[in-house]
Structure 1
């Protein structure tokens, strides 16, 4: 029967009575004379969350020491495990020596030593050490190990200091370092080097990136990454800061390379902050020294940059939004002066529930588009619009299951136009609209539990425009889809409006399968009293009759999603088509998309677009995984980009190998091939979880 005793209660009553005294549990406890306590059999010592297990412990009062016989196991509150054959410690387990010892950190990194000295309850000094996180099978050397003359483990700072260290692979010395500092695996943030990356491109040659992470307190840090190759000298930077009310992140780089004269650089920064009265402040900055820099170095594939500041406040019944955006084009066939480069908007919306029923929405807005050029016409036009809108909507359930909806709207816009003689300088426009919708949903459930909902819908609307014609700045790209089949206007912005009479008819069939599979099929068409020349030929909306819209979606519990859409004319020829299929589970992540668009010079598309893209990831087993991406231009019969990444991972090593090719070219950029290689050792990376599966030892 085990006996519970206070280790120091008999021998040192003053200390034993103090807070945090050590506690002894053993099968037998005996006094040897007046100054020795001997505990034997299943011995455990507990002190401030630290637990020591041993075969026997002898406490000697004159020397105030514990002599411990093993096997010994010490577990600390942070998960560290110490094992040893023999030990000589103080009663509080803060100072002493362990022989033939092994230290295990966070169940990842194990360090074996001939001797471990414990000092001040903070430092462990390990002599003649071998450190590894790899599986050790008999006498066979591990995949990798670090042998050092001495290792000091600072348990407070969670750092490991190696002296006279040799890094070995399968027992073969690879390199030597006189001193080395590494974080232990329980540390989440620490100043030091991160995982290096090798990068090789046909433009920049063979190079290496060595990131260095610097903590600037608990809420700030910066990462500096020198990138050196035969063709470039680059310094990359990432700065992060967390505030009580938001976050800030900035990344950028500066380069001196052989591709262009002079220095090259870029800066991307973004911030998100919560302000009083439920207001959010968001901003981002995007700038680059030349159009090719981002693609040359693989930082981004954007061909237009946008820097913006935005204020947003949303409540149950109101919305306020103010934003200012600056655009910078990287396209060879565009200029910043004519984009327009500066766009600003101010909008307020209020929703009311009037006593006479329905929902009343009031809106006021101001927006402007400014160009640097003073040329007369599209390249120099500056436009400012101030407008308001009143919208009322209500619906009723009528006989035989019909649902009727009535909507009325009145818009007023005042335009001020400069540097374009084809428009009046100031013009007022008023647009009244009214619409009625009738839906007739049918529903049924089969004996198997599958539910079907079929909803035919008819929509009729009228609107007119009184006043002048305004320039169209924000509605130049419009598409016909299931979201705007029954809408007053299918223009994307405020500058253009649909006028005249229109009727839309459609049907939606939704199936809720008993096994969790949900599918939806929608088709419909619009008939109008007059054609609108603002719609482009490929939008599906030009003319008095729209294309036929067919749209379908399928989702399954196993992570499968299918979404397709197509526009057909009366001759059953496709005008636009797009589809995406995705499937994701623990072993597979697959996404494939296809798009087809007819040639349309009004959208600056002189050739047919027919492309597919694939992004896929496969976990072949616990050790190997593969990621692939590709984009192919079917119309031009040529690839656009392609890439593959392979990862091999076991319990102590992670290796990533990648290769990619960008085939696109322009006067600003050239095709690029990139190869990458990086690796990491489990057990030293701050904040990383354990490695992959452990290797099995042969029987």
Structure 2
């Protein structure tokens, strides 16, 4: 009996091979353990013929077979099963049939009235199914769908009818002969031959979901991606885009390495928008882990003309940044070297006068001397940037279209810092600094060609954290902070090329210099004061609020108006956030000037639940000639997603320019998804206008039949029939 039950385990595996995925097959090929057989009557004839009748159930390794009668002759390797037959594996894949017959070591066989459900989603119903060579399953007169069909008189939303379907379990592919795509049982397309992946295959050569794209710039067109796997670790996707005004071939190449990954994106275009010949773009992105904890990363971008990305809806950035970086971070050290290139797409800027080629190197080490305590830091930095223009910079009132200033600087810093807890709970900190700076400037008659300096600095900081815990478990923290700082030396005659945009926020409130780069430093005595309040409520909501202000001995003229740091007294920094368990989040930051109005402000509100995500952002920037802004910039942006019900959802976006009182961008989307289809419709209107871009309207429609390939599953939307 044990020998017969072992053979029963083999036949269960063979039946599973008829249609189930390769993962289930791999588990079945080495089935050495006997199966369990339960039936009303079980007996063995001549020590080799197993007969089981009446409510037959067989179990093995997560597989379950039910039938009315099983007859297995081990001497001839023949199996006959009378139905109704039902086979279920551990992953929920199902085979049903009315009759089954197998021979020749279970490599060949026949199932009558076969119906298969792959990966709990794709259904194949056929008149009969034949097992061939232990690998292929041939189904005759087949209907394939992933739609749930309830009742006898209802038809699926879509189905593929074919005279024959061959399922290759090894390649996990399905081949259709004389296939018809039917929508509500109405023939729509005919395919003499068709190949589709089964639901378990993650990567397969073939066409992906097409997108119908309509643009006021390019007309009505279609994008049809074609996916080409190249081994297990790389692939190529080619996407032809055809419309009355363009012939474009986009591509994406991906490769995974043991130590990193590489991605290439690009496109080659011939269109009627420009008469300058072919257009295109190429983006390259990579990240790699190197020996000794080094990391190499690069992000390279190149385009043929300034308006290409906007014309094809690829990106709305007005500057392209390319960079190559090598870094290493350990417990006590940091090293990074990088090379960057900027390409401006703004119609009022010239690439010849912008700092396009930038190189940086920074090294920092930390030491913890036992004799004096605290932390000792040593840092060094080298920076250089070049312009293509070879013309001298003549001054702020001259023609800046010809400015060609080039800058190189070398900066070093040695600092020591420590903290103590004083009586009464006051936290005190002390830091001392020594900076060594050397600047080289070329092609600028307004600056010295070479300047150097060594300047000291010191900062003393005092905090008084006070915490209270309420009777219900809520916690509140109130922390005033005060810092006295001093930096020696004075401003050198080197140009301000990197620190033209200064942000005053919570992160640099207690810094000795708020300039973002080392080509500028603050000098003289400063006093910074602030207070921080945090509260965590027992019912889950939390809030935080920060106030800060800076007083300095002398005003710094290199701070712009909108920085909030002009004069001897800075604007009042206000920042706060709020979050509650209902999904509501608020965050805001602003600089309140001496007249009681905001010189700079930003805010974000969001509400997120299981059915929706809503967000609104606000931005305010006052006019500032130092930042090339001659009028106020103020705008609202909105974005949202709402799940109307299980199958329908909507999305939206909008951007409104408060200063010009006009709409910049509006987008709406409608999505439908069930167990067998996914429809996505998007419409976007851009109102931007300049010498290189014009207002445009874009429509996108994507329709996908789910159930083919592991990345296109609809199992989470599967319905249940009620009778």
Q: Output the TM-score relative to the length of structure 2.
A: 0.92
Write the deviation string for residues 24-83 of structure 1: whole angstroms up to 9, x where unpaired: 613222245687432113334567875533111122467531111111123457754211
Where does residue 6 of structure 1 map in the other structure? 4
Which residue of 330, 342, 346 maps to 1:315?
330
1:297 corresponds to 2:312: yes
Cα distance in 2, alignment partners of residues 9 and 209 from structure 1:
52
Q: Call closer, same or farther: CA 1:501–1:70 in 2, change over 3 Å.
A: same
Write the deviation string for residues 250-273 of structure 1: whole angstroms up to 9, x where unpaired: 111111111001111001111000
Where does residue 688 of structure 2 map in the other structure? 664
Q: Is the contact between residue 653 and residue 691 of structure 1 (CA under 8 Å) also seen in structure 2?
A: no
Where does residue 26 of structure 1 map in the other structure? 38
Cα distance in 2, alignment partners of residues 458 and 22 from structure 1:
78
Trace 1:250-265 onto structure 2 (pairs within 5 A): 250-261=264-275, 262-265=277-280
1:446 corresponds to 2:470: yes
Q: Is the contact between residue 280 and residue 313 of structure 1 (CA under 8 Å) also seen in structure 2?
A: yes
Which residue of 328, 331, 343 maps to 2:358?
343
Q: Call closer, same or farther: CA 1:468–1:607 in 2, change over 3 Å.
A: closer
**SS of equivalent residue, structure 1 residue 147:** strand
Cα distance in 2, alignment partners of residues 141 and 658 from structure 1:
29
Trace 1:524-673 onto structure 2 (pairs within 5 A): 524-673=548-697
**SS of equivalent residue, structure 2 residue 349:** coil
Query: Unmatched 5+ residue regions in structure 1?
Result: 13-17
Where does residue 113 of structure 2 map in the other structure? 100
Which residue of 382, 400, 420 maps to 1:366?
382
1:356 corresponds to 2:368: no
Cα distance in 1, alignment partners of residues 211 and 609 from structure 2:
29
- 1:474 deviates by 1.4
Where does residue 222 of structure 1 map in the other structure? 236
Which residue of 47, 50, 56 maps to 2:69?
56
- 1:120 deviates by 2.1
Q: Is the contact between residue 651 and residue 695 of structure 1 (CA under 8 Å) also seen in structure 2?
A: yes
1:118 corresponds to 2:131: yes
Where does residue 519 of structure 2 map in the other structure? 495
1:130 corresponds to 2:154: no
Cα distance in 2, alignment partners of residues 166 and 467 from structure 1:
79
- 1:473 deviates by 1.7
Q: Is the contact between residue 458 and residue 505 of structure 1 (CA under 8 Å) also seen in structure 2?
A: yes
- 1:617 deviates by 1.0
**SS of equivalent residue, structure 1 residue 124:** strand
**SS of equivalent residue, structure 1 residue 687:** helix
- The number of aligned residues is 691
Cα distance in 1, alignment partners of residues 610 and 333 from structure 2:
42
**SS of equivalent residue, structure 2 residue 154:** coil
Cα distance in 2, alignment partners of residues 5 and 683 from structure 1:
40
- 1:371 deviates by 0.9
Q: Call closer, same or farther: CA 1:644–1:429 in 2, change over 3 Å.
A: same
Which is worse superposed, 296-305 or 515-524?
A: 515-524
Cα distance in 2, alignment partners of residues 434 and 33 from structure 1:
99
- 1:366 deviates by 0.7
Write the deviation string for residues 323-368 of structure 1: whole angstroms up to 9, x where unpaired: 0001111110111111111010011000111220111110011110
Cα distance in 2, alignment partners of residues 140 and 146 from structure 1:
16
Cα distance in 2, alignment partners of residues 288 and 72 from structure 1:
61
Cα distance in 2, alignment partners of residues 642 and 577 from structure 1:
23
Where does residue 184 of structure 1 map in the other structure? 198
Trace 1:124-523 onto structure 2 (pairs within 5 A): 124-137=137-150, 138-261=152-275, 262-354=277-369, 355-377=371-393, 379-465=403-489, 468-523=492-547
Cα distance in 2, alignment partners of residues 77 and 127 from structure 1:
27
Q: Is the contact between residue 653 and residue 679 of structure 1 (CA under 8 Å) also seen in structure 2?
A: yes
Q: Call closer, same or farther: CA 1:185–1:147 in 2, change over 3 Å.
A: same
Q: Is the contact between residue 87 and residue 96 of structure 1 (CA under 8 Å) also seen in structure 2?
A: yes
Q: Is the contact between residue 376 and residue 420 of structure 1 (CA under 8 Å) also seen in structure 2?
A: yes
Q: Call closer, same or farther: CA 1:19–1:660 in 2, change over 3 Å.
A: closer
Cα distance in 2, alignment partners of residues 549 and 639 from structure 1:
30
Cα distance in 1, alignment partners of residues 31 and 368 from structure 2:
66
**SS of equivalent residue, structure 1 residue 259:** coil
**SS of equivalent residue, structure 1 residue 400:** coil
Q: Is the contact between residue 418 and residue 431 of structure 2 (CA under 8 Å) also seen in structure 1?
A: yes
Cα distance in 2, alignment partners of residues 91 and 586 from structure 1:
55
Cα distance in 2, alignment partners of residues 9 and 566 from structure 1:
77
Cα distance in 2, alignment partners of residues 79 and 155 from structure 1:
17
Write the deviation string for residues 423-460 of structure 1: whole angstroms up to 9, x where unpaired: 22111022211111111111111212211111111111
Cα distance in 2, alignment partners of residues 343 and 58 from structure 1:
79
**SS of equivalent residue, structure 1 residue 664:** coil
Cα distance in 1, alignment partners of residues 72 and 294 from structure 2:
65
- 1:398 deviates by 0.8
Q: Output the TM-score relative to the length of structure 1.
A: 0.95
**SS of equivalent residue, structure 2 residue 717:** coil
